[in-house]
Structure formats: C-alpha cells, structure tokens
A and B are shown apart, each in its own frame.
Chain A
Amino acid sequence: AQSVTQLGSHVSVSEGALVLLRCNYSSSVPPYLFWYVQYPNQGLQLLLKYTSAATLVKGINGFEAEFKKSETSFHLTKPSAHMSDAAEYFCAVSAASGSRLTFGEGTQLTVNP
C-alpha cells in the first residue's frame, strides 16, 4: 500500500521568496514520486518526477525536488517564487512507472506581491 502526506494545505510566500512544499510518502516498494500543478478548473501538469535515478530532480518552471529515502520525503522547492506559481500542487506516488497514482491532499500556494 502507498500513501502520501502533504504538510500544509495552504502555503503563502512573497514574490521572490523561496517556495517549499512538503511531501512525505509511504510505500512498501521502491516508489516513483511525482509533483503535479493544477490551475483552477484545469487538469494536472507534471512538474517533475523521481524514478530511481538521480535523487535531486529538476523540473519545469524552475522547480526541483530531492528524494530522501531516510526521511521518506520528496519536498518541492523553487528558489524564487513568481506570481504565476500560484496554484494547487499535488504530490503523488506510484509503485511503478505509469501505474495508478495515489495523490496527497494538495497544497494551495499563494504568492503575494
């Protein structure tokens, strides 16, 4: 069984500040981990994914995440927030690449001017 916990349903940062969205996972097998972004009334866009290669994963729009097995974490970061980053972010886990995803509860990111 797999699960994902996102700490903080709402995160608010100032434009230009560091973005840190937290994700912890539980998996009985080596996990595949994903971060998705969702804008209102739209589907999900993949930001980045971890598939057992490099532990530091770089994604689109300046986001990156680090897989830490010892901490069962996959936190998402971006050095400098932009207004366009305001959206809902979902962390997800799967047992294998391309298989069903289990999503976290989501984190709403607000970027203040």
Chain B
Amino acid sequence: GAVVSQHPSRVICKSGTSVKIECRSLDFQATTMFWYRQFPKQSLMLMATSNEGSKATYEQGVEKDKFLINHASLTLSTLTVTSAHPEDSSFYICSAVLEPMNTEAFFGQGTRLTVV
C-alpha cells in the first residue's frame, strides 16, 4: 500500500524558535497533501490543503504566516511552525492523496510538537 512518511515523530523546541515538519509520499506522487492538527483527546482539524507548485489553502482561523506550508515537489510537503509558543504544542498529522487514482488519503505517523 501507499506509504506516507512524516518526520520527525517527536520534537521539543523552545518558545520563539521555528520547527519544520516534513511529509513525504514514499512510493507515489501526491499533488495534494493535507495538514491536520489534533489536540489531546480530540478529533483532527484540517489546517490547510497543500498543492504542489501553488500556495496552500488555509482553513478559517489558521494563521498562514505562523504555519508556513511548502509543497515544492510531488512527494514532499513541509509545515513550518514559526515563532512557536506553548499553545502550538499539539499532534500534527499530514495526509497525501494517491494520484492518479485519487481514491483515498494516506496518513503519516504524526508529529508530536512540544514547545517549552
């Protein structure tokens, strides 16, 4: 099956620093990737839709200048949390759509971000 690799799986950073999370589709090309955020004991909330070669589409209430998304190739999308604060601590999960079949989304393993 299709594999999506997300890295790192865990990261601890200091307040004010930036953290980059990578999402790679290992054995397929993904024109579209999605970034979700999950708070403890809660559901996944879509943050943004990442499209290869174009600007990401952010959901209402998500600060695009704080959560920078780059989808530079058909196999890689990155999420950078800039000037991180403790309230940004969360579980971030990416998913990639299998192209060209476009039948379902495959999820990465998630990244646990802790800002101290």
Contacts and interface: CB of A to CB of B under 8 A. Distances in A.
A complexed with B: yes
Interface residues of A, number: 21
A105 B32 CA distance: 24
B104 interface: yes
Nearest to B96: A98
B43 A104 contact: yes
A42 interface: yes
Nearest to B93: A43
A90 B6 contact: no
B21 interface: no
B25 interface: no
B76 interface: no
B67 interface: no
27 contacts: A36-B107, A41-B9, A41-B91, A42-B109, A42-B110, A43-B4, A43-B6, A43-B107, A43-B108, A43-B109, A44-B107, A45-B107, A46-B104, A46-B106, A97-B103, A98-B32, A98-B97, A98-B98, A98-B102, A98-B105, A99-B97, A101-B34, A101-B105, A103-B43, A105-B42, A105-B43, A106-B42
